[in-house]
Amino acid sequence: MKKIVSLYLLLFSFSTFAQTVQLSSLQDALNLARKQNNSIRSSELQNRIAQTDNALAQSGLYPSLSLTGNSDYNLKLPVQLIPAEIFGGPAGTFKSVQFGRAWNSNASAVFELPLLHPDKYAQARAGKLTREQVELEQTAQQRLALQKVTAAYLNVLVLQQALVLNMELDSSATTLYDATKARFEQQLVSRVEINRSENLKNANLQQTLLLRSNLQVARQNLCILLGLNPNSDLQISDQLSKYAELSLTNLPEIKAENRPSYQATLKAEEAARWKMRQNAYAALPKLSINSKYTFANQTDRLFSNTGTNFDYGTLGMSLNVPLFKGRSTALQTRKSRIQLDLARIQKEQQLLSSYSEIMEWQVRLREKEQARSLAASRDANAAQNLDLSFQSYDQGVISLDQLFTIYNEYVQARNSYLQAMSDGALYRTYLELEK
């Protein structure tokens, strides 16, 4: 039986380890991240904690009811002296009287209703604002996590196409080496040229190995951001060319004042103001309604039916006026005032940062929109030049140095085009996430 269980656990672990995930678009990756990204899930738990803290702060304004009970055994009953003339004795003499019985038990119910507690009201207001602040911070945290997923996903697409490009270049470099070797055997080129062509072939093969490892690492990083096992079989049936159409049209109008990160600082400032009031209000009087009902039992033996039972109750109001607490209230108020100033500065800085970030994304997207068109034209021209150069080299029209120059121009043009498409898609997605 143990062997069967062990085999089942092994197969289960293997199936989890070999999980296959298919993505066909960036939106698929973002939707999966919204469900499984650990940062997003953590922020949701923080929001639940803030909701609980708010409920705790609000509970200070609610009535309270408590039950207490105790039972005492008197090892020796207390003795009181009472004038003897009460019992018919001579005046000026006293009689010893013991009060109570050996066992004294009672149970009480205590009810309290706050009527005027300014500090508890301020605490409840601060708790509500803090909860709203955390909710906004959660939204901002989610957007930041989705930005990281976007960058990682597009990086995988770039590396996938770069790998395909480099494998094509491997074939071209091998063809060039074979052609140079044939010309060397005909004594048309020197040993230097055949060595350089061989080095180019090896450099391309080396670059292919590097791209394969970079792609594997990029896939693992994307899996982690998606909340998947890093060794999952992540299959992406997507092409970077799908995101080539870059434009600022149909994008939402984004105002820095409306972003969750800035709205959260507004709530934080208001919460800090109420926390300062909470500390200041601690010095004010507090008024409450109190009620207490007690049932008592006195007997010579515990749980005896021959004891004496009686009950009593009170209903009244209590006033608590703090006079002096060793300057603690004043110091707490001073500290909270400084924290309010800090929250105000952080709010102003967040607004500036939001303005700067949005403006940078829009400027970058405009630049990538124009750069993509130029890079596409450059890439097409470089690809045509490379084809013509191979033909010219085979015919002996151009030298190997000239072919190398054109070859490197093509590599740079192609990589520039891929990067322009990726960057444009990145900044556009950043702006779309602000909806």
C-beta neighbour count of 100 within 10 angstroms: 12
Which CATH number goes with the domain that contains 428? 1.20.1600.10
Distance CA 324, CA 393 (A): 96
pLDDT band at 247 (very low <50, low <70, confident <90, very high): low
- Angle among Cα 101, 107, 113 to the nearest 5 degrees reads 140
Q: Are 406 and 386 in contact (CB under 8 A)?
A: yes
Q: Is 100 left (phi over 0), alpha (psi -120 to 50) or beta?
A: left
Q: 368-403 in b/e burial notation, b at 16+ Cβ within 10 A? A: bbebbeebbebbeebeebbeebbebbeeeebebeeb
State the total domains in the chain: 1
Spatial CA neighbour of 105 closest among 141, 78, 71: 71
pLDDT greater at residue 101 or residue 67: 67
Residue 81, class by beta-carbon neighbours within 10 Å (0-12 exposed, 13-18 middle, 19+ buried)?
A: exposed
pLDDT band at 435 (very low <50, low <70, confident <90, very high): confident
Distance CA 380, CA 165 (A): 14
pLDDT value at residue 68:
93
Q: What does the DSSP 8-state code read for residue 323?
A: -
Instruction: Answer whether residue 386 shows pLDDT above 70.
Output: yes
Q: What does the DSSP 8-state code read for residue 183?
A: H
Q: What is the three-class DSSP state of 394?
A: helix
pLDDT value at residue 14:
38
Give the residue numbers spanning the domain of 230: 14-61+117-284+325-432
Distance CA 148, CA 137 (A): 17
φ, ψ dihedrals at 395, nearest 5°: -90, -5
Strongest mean pLDDT among 192-201, 340-349, 391-400, 422-431: 340-349
E strand residue ranges, 135-284: 233-236
Token couple for 373: 């068109």
In a domain, 5, yes or no: no
Instruction: Answer whether residue 222 shows pLDDT above 70.
Output: yes
Token couple for 238: 């997507």
pLDDT band at 399 (very low <50, low <70, confident <90, very high): confident
In a domain, 97, yes or no: no
Mean of pLDDT values over 79-108: 81
pLDDT value at residue 172:
83
Q: 311-324 in b/e burial notation, b at 16+ Cβ within 10 A? A: eeeeeeeeeeeeee
What H or E segment, with its residue span, contains residue 291?
A: strand 286-299
In a domain, 420, yes or no: yes
Residue 104, class by beta-carbon neighbours within 10 Å (0-12 exposed, 13-18 middle, 19+ buried)?
A: middle
- For the residues of 60-87, what is the DSSP string, one character each? TTS-EEEEEEEEEE-SS--EEEEEGGGG
Q: Lowest-confidence range among 77-91, 395-409, 420-434?
A: 77-91
Instruction: Answer whether residue 2 shows pLDDT above 70.
Output: no
pLDDT in tens, 4-53: 444 444 444 434 455 788 999 999 999 999 999 999 998 888 889 989 98
Q: Which amino acid is at 102?
A: A
Q: Which amino acid is at 17?
A: F
In a domain, 126, yes or no: yes
In a domain, 407, yes or no: yes
Q: Are 156 and 215 in contact (CB under 8 A)?
A: yes
In a domain, 310, yes or no: no
pLDDT band at 231 (very low <50, low <70, confident <90, very high): confident
In a domain, 232, yes or no: yes
Strongest mean pLDDT among 176-190, 214-228, 230-244: 214-228
- Please list, in sequence order, all residues whose beta carbon lies within 8 angstroms of the beta carbon of residue 65, skipping any fewer than 6 positions away: 109, 110, 111, 112
pLDDT value at residue 434:
87
Token couple for 329: 């209230």
Distance CA 40, CA 28 (A): 16
Distance CA 65, CA 338 (A): 37
pLDDT in tens, 145-174: 999 999 999 999 999 999 998 888 888 888
pLDDT greater at residue 9 or residue 381: 381
Percentage with pLDDT > 70 across the chain: 94
In a domain, 218, yes or no: yes
Q: To the nearest whole number, what is the mean pLDDT of the chain? A: 86
